[in-house]
Chain A
């Protein structure tokens, strides 16, 4: 089998292997390329988990991830990602297609949702009063200070929370208690009739209802809630409380409309750029330019299928990496064509000039691509987040561009020479 045929088999093989994934995705009615939130719109939040003193970070973080997922996506149907990215960091990504607004996402994340029903004896407290649990730490400006023993029910005792209209106007959150919680609640309410049970959420008094009779199994929290607030509270209670403090390190939100606009413009710009490059190559290298353009088309399609196969999310810095690798692909072609021209000037012709041109260009294409590849590796290893996205597309882009220049362009040109 000749070398040329082998090359074509390689090309067709690579294209068909990598195109399986995107074809399956399209057949499945999915988007073959996943776009980063900076291009498609959405909110991206990086949070730091601060565990309570004497608690182990390793044990806390998975719980936080779980609570966050439940809060943001209680049914588990939205494409929301909550991922631990380092020892104490969690990255949360919510696409705008999920219908969540960035600020609601932020609110849901920030709240710790500590619910406590506190026995305050014969004293009632106003909604909004500051409540502090006396756990040995300092507390200032507290309207209500209570101890652990006064807590009758905690968020953890809840089985389920739902929302219903409040007979006195507004909305309330009804809760159903677990078996142990239900027993404790019944015992307490039976023995403390006419006393107050103050509902404390995240150190704030929500309401301070009076106990009229023994309560079994369920109860309700009625503050002056709007439907949105009641829904949010029910959601937080159902997801469970956070066992750690949360610090937002970074939040980026891209409005759906703005993201779409920047994506459309970028795609249009990329097309214009590619067409200009193609025209220049055709003008400069005539028939060989056709081979270069064809090789670039194959380069782009392999790259596209690879991104799809490896489930790489394309972000703005990722596009930067792409531009560099496209530039390297064009450059490799230019180097080869200039070399062939030189060989022809020195009297060689046809296939011989072609062979010499390619073999002379090999060392420079190797060195240039290896150094850029090394930069990509360093970045991949050291950088985080967006710069890492740049490194990934660059590394893949370089591998494909070397293949495109040394195998695809060569196969096309040799086929032409052979047919003459």
Chain B
């Protein structure tokens, strides 16, 4: 076995890297509360640590294809005629993404656009998402609850199939991955919408899969190599599963990169979260989950 490359030893260094990134993430979240605000259903304003999308805050997003050249400033000027609050406008390819407060009836906006851009057709060239504040709070609550219960179920299953220590290890790795992805989104201020929730769930599944592959090997080696020290068993298991880890991560990343590069603009936030999460998931099963189990197991 390679003496210089020792995963458990390396993990003592990498844990600091993880902590550094997570600290940066938390710092950004605190900073973000100055920028991102949300109006609750009862009218109170609360600060947000992340750039939460309308699925969480309520509001409207219009994606419009104007069919001709324009600029975000020009659009903003045009729309200020009918909107009271300044809309957020972003360009993505040929599509302009306009974010406003919750507007149930956008006829005025469409009229303005149709009068200015002759190729624009409100039935063909617009996608919109409008979510009332009450409903968004309900959606967010459900998403949190599902994630929480999902984790409990995992804890229970791994406790039964492996042991409680392994379950803790898997959970620590999972929490790490979620925090890691959240940190990324906090630092780069990427918007968190429903696709992000789907991505977090996918990452949960992938990360737990990755961790279990390593744990399964440790369990097997605990029976085979009864006289070895536990740290040696962990190290051997990590090495034995390494080529599988590399191959699986590469193939999955290849598929997601393809979607990131060739897929539509709407899929980008989703695939970005997946790429970050999958890398974190692979890393954490080697450098977080296993060292954690090793430190607790006597």
A binding-site residues for B, Cβ under 8 Å:
46, 96, 101-103, 106, 110, 247-259, 261-262, 265-266, 268-270, 272-274, 276-277, 280-281, 284, 316-317, 320-321, 323-324, 326-328, 330-331, 334-335, 338, 342, 360, 363-364, 367-368, 370-372, 374-379, 382-387, 390, 394
Known contacts A258-B125, A335-B213, A364-B213: does B194 contact A379 (CB below 8 Å)? Answer: no
Complex contact B131–A249 (CB within 8 A): yes
Interface residue? B225 (CB, 8 A): no
Q: Which B residues, 112 to 137, have Cβ-Cβ distances below 8 Å to chain A?
A: 122-132, 134-135
Name the A residues within 8 Å of B132 (CB-CB). Answer: 247-250
Q: At the interface with chain A, which of B43-51, B73-81, B175-183, B197-205?
A: B197-205
Interface residue? B259 (CB, 8 A): yes
Q: Which B residues, 200 to 215, have Cβ-Cβ distances below 8 Å to chain A?
A: 201-202, 204-206, 208-209, 212-213
Q: At the interface with chain A, which of B13-21, B22-30, B31-39, B150-158?
A: B150-158
Interface residue? B7 (CB, 8 A): no
Known contacts A46-B135, A375-B154: does B267 contact A253 (CB below 8 Å)? Answer: no
Name the B residues within 8 Å of A102 (CB-CB). Answer: 123, 126, 128
Instruction: Please give me the residue from chain B that is nearest to A327 by CB atom.
Output: B252
Interface residue? B9 (CB, 8 A): no
Interface residue? B71 (CB, 8 A): no
How many contacting A-B pairs (Cβ < 8 A)?
Answer: 228
Name the B residues within 8 Å of A324 (CB-CB). Answer: 202, 205-206
Complex contact B106–A103 (CB within 8 A): yes
Complex contact B209–A379 (CB within 8 A): no
Known contacts A265-B262, A371-B212, A374-B154: does B143 contact A387 (CB below 8 Å)? Answer: yes
Complex contact A101–B122 (CB within 8 A): yes
Name the A residues within 8 Å of B201 (CB-CB). Answer: 320, 375, 379, 387, 390
Q: At the interface with chain A, which of B226-234, B243-251, B286-294?
A: B243-251
Instruction: Please give me the residue from chain A that is nearest to B197 by CB atom.
Output: A387
Give, as a whole number of angstroms, the nearest-CB distance from B181 to chain A.
14
Apart from A251-B129, A323-B274, A375-B153, list 5 A-B contacts with CB within 8 A: A248-B130, A257-B65, A273-B256, A331-B251, A371-B157
Known contacts A251-B130, A379-B201, A387-B201: does B104 contact A103 (CB below 8 Å)? Answer: no
Choose among A103, A248, A331 the residue that contacts B209 (Cβ–Cβ < 8 A).
Answer: A331
Interface centre among B65, B123, B126, B256 (most CB of A within 10 A): B123
Complex contact B264–A265 (CB within 8 A): yes
B binding-site residues for A, Cβ under 8 Å:
63, 65, 95, 104-107, 110, 122-132, 134-135, 139, 142-143, 145-146, 149-150, 153-154, 157-158, 161, 194-195, 197-199, 201-202, 204-206, 208-209, 212-213, 216-217, 220, 240-241, 243-244, 247-248, 250-252, 254-259, 261-267, 270, 274
Known contacts A265-B262, A269-B263: does B255 contact A317 (CB below 8 Å)? Answer: no
Complex contact A255–B251 (CB within 8 A): no
Name the A residues within 8 Å of B204 (CB-CB). Answer: 375
Give, as a whole number of angstroms, the nearest-CB distance from A398 to chain B.
9
Name the A residues within 8 Å of B125 (CB-CB). Answer: 255, 257-258
Complex contact B123–A334 (CB within 8 A): no
Name the A residues within 8 Å of B139 (CB-CB). Answer: 384-385
Could you tell me the distance between the alpha carbons of A265 and B157 in the complex, rounded to whole angstroms?
39
Could you tell me the distance between the alpha carbons of A372 and B201 in the complex, rounded to whole angstroms?
10
Known contacts A252-B129, A255-B123, A276-B258: does B209 contact A368 (CB below 8 Å)? Answer: yes
Complex contact B202–A316 (CB within 8 A): no
Complex contact A382–B149 (CB within 8 A): yes
Name the B residues within 8 Å of A334 (CB-CB). Answer: 244, 247-248, 251
Complex contact A106–B105 (CB within 8 A): yes
Choose among A106, A247, A276, A377 the residue that contacts B255 (Cβ–Cβ < 8 A).
Answer: A276
Name the B residues within 8 Å of A249 (CB-CB). Answer: 131-132, 134-135
Could you tell me the distance between the alpha carbons of A296 and B233 in the complex, rounded to whole angstroms?
34
Complex contact A276–B254 (CB within 8 A): yes
Name the B residues within 8 Å of A110 (CB-CB). Answer: 104
Complex contact A375–B205 (CB within 8 A): yes
Complex contact B213–A317 (CB within 8 A): no
Give, as a whole number of angstroms, the nearest-CB distance from A85 to chain B.
12
Sample 6 A-B pairs with CB under 8 A, ordered by A number: A101-B122, A281-B251, A327-B206, A327-B252, A331-B251, A364-B217
Could you tell me the distance between the alpha carbons of A237 and B259 in the complex, rounded to whole angstroms?
48
Complex contact A268–B146 (CB within 8 A): no
Complex contact B255–A277 (CB within 8 A): yes
Name the B residues within 8 Å of A372 (CB-CB). Answer: 205, 208-209
Give, as a whole number of angstroms, the nearest-CB distance from A370 to chain B.
7
Give, as a whole number of angstroms, the nearest-CB distance from A125 to chain B.
26
